């Protein structure tokens, strides 16, 4: 191959990488300018945080526009290399882009902070910082892996050894050991919980148990079917926060195991499948590990939220090998049903499945409508089924507007932070664009598509909206699995490319460092001598538990009027639901929300009101509307008020 041919082969990737970085940096500058006058809403409670609501109306449109603008920008950059006919310009460009990521990863401008920390606390504290601080470790690992990428790209190492392991290792026996190791790595004997994040699941389930129907008198932030699933699971397991932690563990283990077996079947390489599953474990599980953090604390940020795309991947794989209509219909049905498990991930799942069957059939534009109507038909059927069942149970039609009630406030910017100008997410977008360009070339040549690869690309693009909206480090890992699986596909099929081989070694070092640095911290957090009981009450909740027992004994009925910062936990322990139209007081973000709840309580005129001793501006504002209640007693964490009139 001539030098010119080699240049032309590598220009698109280099130009695409440069265009991706340039676009996101420019998009951040544009948004900073557009949002310069934005202020925190005055009606948002101060206790929720200084930057808890920052509206970003242009970020998602700019993100989608990037999938058009970045390739166009890359096409404008690419002729520069062709005119110069000089490969060093592209090596320079690639190294410049990587060094930019390196500077971001290591945050050189913050090193004075770490040096001063060492000087103040000593080398022992510095090692503690290295081994436990998530962001510092991640930046250091990221920077190191980029140095490795540059080294291996320049040295041009091969890696056929990975695929030779498929023949050298007895994988039937090794799989059993791998699954056993996976179980040990996942299961935490103490099943830690975080009440705040668990409340969003335990609250709706508790309401249903005590007579408040979902879509009637209670709502859920994360979906319908997942709440119904938990309702069924708690008929077998004790209804407790620890049980939900146990369920989270099961989902993690099954998810990682399913990823391994899918990659093994799809890519025909047990070694690559094991590496892929281990990588997903490292990014999803170990990234969140620190002395005070665990993935168990965030059930909504794990497989329990988005697991349904794995069975769809399996269905697409089987359909690709044997195109049976039943497999196609099941994939579409599961995608439609996923909207009701979790709406955000369901949108991405529907988009990925729609793209697969539209491209697989090479549908003319007119047939897109028919495929879309098929999706809508399944969605309508599911809505009808839910409506009929609810009508049979509750005797009235469900209020479907409540399905979106808890999602709507986030449109005002709740929990949103700006997308970094340069960040790891740029790599994800570059990977999706590179894969899309490959698929486009295959389409023009009349070649068949790899259906799981197309699905992962489109699904990943849409599911990344979760990170685009809430652009914090702790959300990045949540959208990292599709790029990892897609990267494994590109590795298997394009391993002759120097950049692909260098990326493999870079990622291998990254994963190895995560295991080396984070795994000891993870196991240090576990106490294998203290196996958690599924019905155990945390020692920190002893006072709350005593109050719950008092409420259970002295207040009849299923509902009590309660205003408390830990109301959900108290209600679950007391086996009651709230008389107010809420399951978690924290979710009243704005003053008008609290005012509405207070007016509702005044209209009902309950003879007693239970109010938490520990208060914030939300509770103080709520109490300012209640003039007819006088304090008559108190418990450990509660004050009891009686109505005066």
Q: Which residues of 25-35 are buried (b: 16+ CB within 10 A; e: fewer)?
A: bebbeebeeeb
User: Which range, of 199-208, 409-418, 450-459, averages the lowest pLDDT?
Assistant: 409-418
Percent pLDDT > 90 in the chain is 53
Q: What is the pLDDT of residue 109?
A: 44
Burial degree of 176 (CB within 10 A; 0-12, 13-18, 19+): exposed
Question: Is the per-residue pLDDT at 107 higher than 60?
Answer: no
Mean pLDDT, all residues of the chain = 85
pLDDT value for 57:
79
Mean pLDDT of 563-592: 94
Confidence at residue 4, expressed as pLDDT on a 0 to 100 scale: 36
Query: Coil, strand, or helix at residue 53?
Result: strand
Local confidence band at 110 (pLDDT 50, 70, 90 cut-offs):
low
Model pLDDT for residues 245-296, shown as the tens digit of each residue: 999 999 999 999 999 999 999 999 999 999 999 999 999 999 888 888 899 9
CB-based burial of residue 437 (10 Å sphere; 0-12 exposed, 13-18 middle, 19+ buried)?
middle
| Segment among 93-97, 212-216, 362-366 with least mean pLDDT | 93-97
Question: What is the average pLDDT across 202-231?
Answer: 95
Answer whether 422's CB lies under 8 Å from 25's CB: yes
| 3-state SS assignment for residue 471 | coil
Of the pLDDT bands very low, low, confident and very high (cuts 50, 70, 90), residue 132 is low
pLDDT computed for residue 355 by the predictor = 93
Per-residue b or e along 508-538, where b marks 16 or more CB atoms closer than 10 Å to that residue's CB: bbbbebbeebbeebbeebeeeeeebebebbe
Per-residue pLDDT, 8? 38
Going across the sheet that includes 629-634, the strands are: 562-563, 608-612, 638-643, 629-634
- Tens digits of per-residue pLDDT, 626-643? 888 999 999 999 999 998
Q: What confidence category does residue 309 fall into, taking pLDDT thresholds of 50, 70 and 90?
A: very high
The single residue listed with the structure tokens 């070092």 is 509
pLDDT at site 311: 97
CA 219 to chain centre: 21
For the chain, domain boundaries? 3-155, 170-524, 539-643
- Residue 634 DSSP label: E
Interval 30-44: pLDDT, tens: 888 887 777 777 888
Q: Do 217 and 207 form a contact (C-beta atoms < 8 A)?
A: yes
Residue 138: pLDDT band with limits 50, 70, 90 = low
Q: How much is the pLDDT for 49? A: 72
Q: CB atoms < 10 A from the CB of 119, how many? A: 9
307 neighbors 446 (Cβ within 8 angstroms): no
Question: Is 1's pLDDT higher than 50?
Answer: no
> Which pLDDT value is given to residue 494?
82
| Per-residue tokens: 414 | 């709740």
Answer with the residue of higher pLDDT: 354 or 21: 354
From 454, 426, 434, 485, select the one nearest 63 (Cα to Cα): 426
Whether residue 516 is predicted with pLDDT greater than 60 in this model: the reply is yes
Report the pLDDT value the prediction gives residue 366, as an integer from 0 to 100: 67
pLDDT tens per residue, range 390-402: 999 999 999 999 9
What distance in Å separates the CA atoms of residue 542 and residue 532, rounded to the nearest whole number?
16
Confidence at residue 5, expressed as pLDDT on a 0 to 100 scale = 37
Whole-number Å distance between alpha carbons of 14 and 287: 29
Pairing of strands 629-634, 638-643: antiparallel
- How confident is the model at residue 472, as a pLDDT? 74
- State pLDDT tens for residues 166-176: 788 888 889 99
The tens digit of pLDDT for each residue in 238-259 reads 999 999 999 999 999 999 999 9
Residue pLDDT, tens place only, 585-625: 999 999 999 999 999 999 999 999 999 999 999 999 999 99
* Minimum mean pLDDT range among 66-75, 281-290, 509-518, 531-540: 531-540
Nearest-angstrom CA–CA distance, 536 and 532? 7
The whole-angstrom separation of Cα 199 and Cα 184 is 27
Between these two residues, 440 and 279, which has the higher pLDDT value? 279
Q: Whose structure tokens read 């948002």?
A: 44
Highest mean pLDDT (candidates 92-106, 124-138, 341-355, 425-439): 341-355
d(CA 361, CA 369): 14
């Amino acid at each position: 191959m001539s030098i010119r041919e080699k240049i032309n082969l590598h220009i698109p990737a280099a130009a695409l990488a440069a265009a991706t970085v340039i676009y996101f940096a420019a998009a951040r500058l544009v948004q900073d300018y557009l949002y310069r006058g934005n202020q925190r809403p005055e009606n948002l409670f101060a206790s929720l945080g200084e930057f808890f609501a920052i509206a970003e109306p242009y970020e998602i449109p700019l993100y989608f526009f990037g999938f058009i603008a970045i390739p166009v920008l890359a096409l404008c950059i690419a002729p520069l290399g062709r005119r110069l006919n000089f490969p060093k310009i592209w090596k320079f460009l690639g190294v410049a882009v990587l060094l930019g990521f390196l500077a971001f990863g290591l945050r050189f401008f913050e090193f004075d902070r770490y040096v001063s920390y060492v000087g103040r606390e000593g080398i022992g504290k510095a090692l503690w910082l290295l081994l436990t601080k998530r962001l510092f470790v991640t930046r250091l690992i990221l920077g190191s892996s980029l140095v490795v990428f540059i080294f291996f790209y320049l040295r041009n190492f091969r890696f056929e050894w990975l695929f030779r392991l498929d023949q050298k290792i007895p994988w039937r026996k090794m799989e059993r050991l791998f699954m056993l190791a996976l179980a040990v790595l996942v299961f935490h004997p103490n099943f830690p919980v975080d009440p705040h994040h668990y409340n969003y699941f335990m609250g709706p389930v508790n309401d249903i148990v005590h007579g408040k129907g979902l879509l009637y008198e209670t709502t859920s932030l994360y979906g319908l079917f997942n709440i119904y699933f938990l309702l069924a699971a708690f008929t077998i397991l004790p209804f407790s926060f620890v049980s939900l932690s146990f369920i989270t563990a099961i989902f993690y283990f099954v998810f990682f195991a399913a990823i391994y077996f899918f990659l093994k079947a799809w890519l025909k390489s047990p070694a690559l499948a094991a590496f892929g599953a281990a990588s997903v474990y490292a990014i999803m599980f170990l990234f969140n590990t620190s002395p005070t953090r665990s993935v168990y604390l965030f059930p909504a940020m794990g497989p329990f939220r988005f697991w349904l795309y794995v069975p769809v991947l399996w269905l697409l794989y089987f359909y690709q090998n044997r195109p049976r209509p039943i497999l196609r219909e099941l994939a579409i049905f599961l995608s439609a049903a996923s909207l009701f498990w979790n709406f955000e991930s369901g949108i991405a799942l529907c988009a990925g499945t729609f793209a697969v069957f539209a491209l697989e059939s090479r549908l003319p534009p007119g047939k897109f409508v028919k495929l879309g109507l098929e999706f809508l038909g399944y969605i309508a059927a599911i809505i009808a089924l839910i409506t009929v069942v609810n009508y049979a149970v509750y005797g009235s039609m469900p209020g479907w507007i409540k399905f979106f009630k808890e999602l709507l406030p986030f449109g005002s910017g709740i929990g949103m932070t700006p997308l970094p100008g340069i960040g790891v997410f740029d790599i994800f977008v570059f990977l999706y664009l590179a894969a899309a360009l490959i698929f486009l070339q295959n389409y023009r040549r009349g070649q068949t598509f790899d259906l799981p690869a197309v699905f992962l690309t489109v699904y990943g693009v849409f599911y990344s909206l979760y990170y685009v909206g809430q652009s914090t480090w702790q959300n990045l890992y949540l959208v990292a699995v599709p790029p990892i699986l897609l990267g494994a596909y590109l590795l298997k099929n394009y391993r002759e490319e120097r950049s692909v081989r260098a990326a493999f070694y870079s990622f291998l070092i990254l994963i190895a460092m995560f295991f080396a640095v984070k795994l000891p911290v993870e196991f240090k957090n576990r106490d294998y001598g203290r196996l958690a009981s599924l019905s155990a009450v945390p020692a920190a909740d002893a006072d709350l538990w005593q109050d719950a027992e008092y409420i259970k004994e002295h207040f009849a009925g299923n509902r009590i009027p309660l205003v408390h910062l830990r109301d959900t936990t108290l209600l679950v322990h007391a086996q009651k639901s709230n008389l107010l139209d809420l399951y978690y007081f924290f979710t009243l973000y704005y003053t008008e929300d609290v005012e509405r709840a207070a007016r509702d309580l005044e209209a009902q005129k309950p003879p007693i009101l239970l109010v938490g001793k520990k208060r914030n501006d939300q509770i103080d504002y709520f109490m300012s509307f209640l003039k007819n209640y006088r304090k008559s007693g108190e418990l450990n964490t509660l004050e009891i008020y009686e109505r005066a009139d």
